[in-house]
A and B are shown apart, each in its own frame.
Chain A
Amino acid sequence: MLFHLAADVGVDLFSRNRELALENRALLDAHSVRGVEFMGGIGSGKTALIEALSKDRRCAAICGDVSGDDDAKRLRKAGVEAVSVNTGKECHLDAHLVGHALESLDLEGVGVLFVENVGNLVCPADFELGCHKRAVVVSVTEGDDMIRKHPVLFGLSDVAVVNKVDLAGVMGVDVSVLEKDYASLKSSALIRTSARTGEGLQALSGALGL
């Protein structure tokens, strides 16, 4: 059987997402908006942290969820200009969805745009959205092995947070186990927060460059 070489096609299947992410970044930069993405586990406190961090500054938010607009509603109550993006069947946001959500936000005068990704510690890592910082959140209620189980997502994120430290005692979770796992991956420190008590929010704000 004779073979005919059709093509060295070299089609990068992530390149379109990367281009759109760069467009999103350019739009944010044109309006001097700092973009911060939160990835993390379901219920780890992504929305609660955005609520807490958006006090004292003008913020906008894009909330990715499979369905509903509960998070956007909560953030609007906290004074944030928020839109929902329902991914329907998808387990992550991509730069295309975020680009469309940006069209419906007025960025004039906004200091920070928060993008809350779908609760998921896996595939969001493959899709850059164009934010300046990517943060990943887990909380003590998921146990002490979340970082060990998801090293690549933590490795690829700029900032990592363990939230709900106010509940560490009740949950019987030793936060230093998470810290040790994180230290074996990254040079920066894992940030302990409680969106409830306000612990660690200043450190988080600093790490995100807010």
Chain B
Amino acid sequence: MLEAAGNRKVSDVHLRIGELTFISEEQLRFAIRLLSVGTAAEGCDVRIDPVSPEFECVSCGHISTADFSSPAFACGKCGADVRVLRGKEFSVDKVVLYD
């Protein structure tokens, strides 16, 4: 990715992180700051889009949400098990370079 950028510097990086992952935003920012020293990404702005969890009931199909601090992994309507639709993402969505 950085090779394709030639010798232009990275202005910002957009990440998407699901709230059901165990990736700590604070620690990730710290790691990027340390690892990017001396690279095209040094000093870049790291934008993080958190993705809140969304579940689908395996029995009745009801879609529900929950937050990380008080998650419920059962269907709010019928009580059956759910499968995770959103909340486990960890992706680099966009890299913006200086012209």
Interface contact B97-A6, CB-CB below 8 Å: yes
Interface string of B85-97 (1 = CB under 8 A from A): 0001111111111
Segment with Cβ contacts to B, from A31-39, A103-111, A150-158, A192-200: A150-158
Question: Given A126-B21, A185-B73, does the pair A8, B81 have CB atoms closer than 8 Å?
Answer: no
Interface size band for B: 20 to 34
| Interface membership of B64, Cβ < 8 A | no
The residues in B between 1 and 44 inclusive whose CB is less than 8 angstroms from any CB of A are: 1, 4-5, 8, 11, 20-23
User: A190 CA to B5 CA in the complex, in Å?
Assistant: 52
User: A154 CA to B20 CA in the complex, in Å?
Assistant: 11
Segment with Cβ contacts to B, from A9-17, A60-68, A134-142, A170-178: A9-17
Interface contact A4-B98, CB-CB below 8 Å: yes
Nearest CB to that of B84 among chain A residues? A156
Among B1, B91, B94, B99, the residue within 8 A (CB) of A12 is B91
Nearest CB to that of B88 among chain A residues? A14
Chain A min CB distance to B85 (Å)? 13
Interface contact B81-A14, CB-CB below 8 Å: no
Say whether chain B's binding surface is mostly helix, strand, loop, or mixed: loop
Among B21, B71, B91, the residue within 8 A (CB) of A155 is B71
Chain A min CB distance to B42 (Å)? 16
| Interface membership of A1, Cβ < 8 A | yes
Interface contact B81-A186, CB-CB below 8 Å: yes
Chain A min CB distance to B65 (Å)? 13
User: A172 CA to B75 CA in the complex, in Å?
Assistant: 33
Question: Given A123-B22, A185-B74, A187-B79, does the pair A2, B91 have CB atoms closer than 8 Å?
Answer: no
User: A93 CA to B95 CA in the complex, in Å?
Assistant: 30
The residues of A that contact B70 with a CB separation of less than 8 Å are: 151
Interface contact B22-A3, CB-CB below 8 Å: no
The 5 closest A-B pairs by CB, nearest first: A155-B73, A2-B99, A187-B74, A4-B99, A12-B91
Q: Using a CB–CB distance below 8 Å, which chain A residues touch chain B?
A: 1-14, 122-123, 125-126, 151-152, 154-156, 184-188
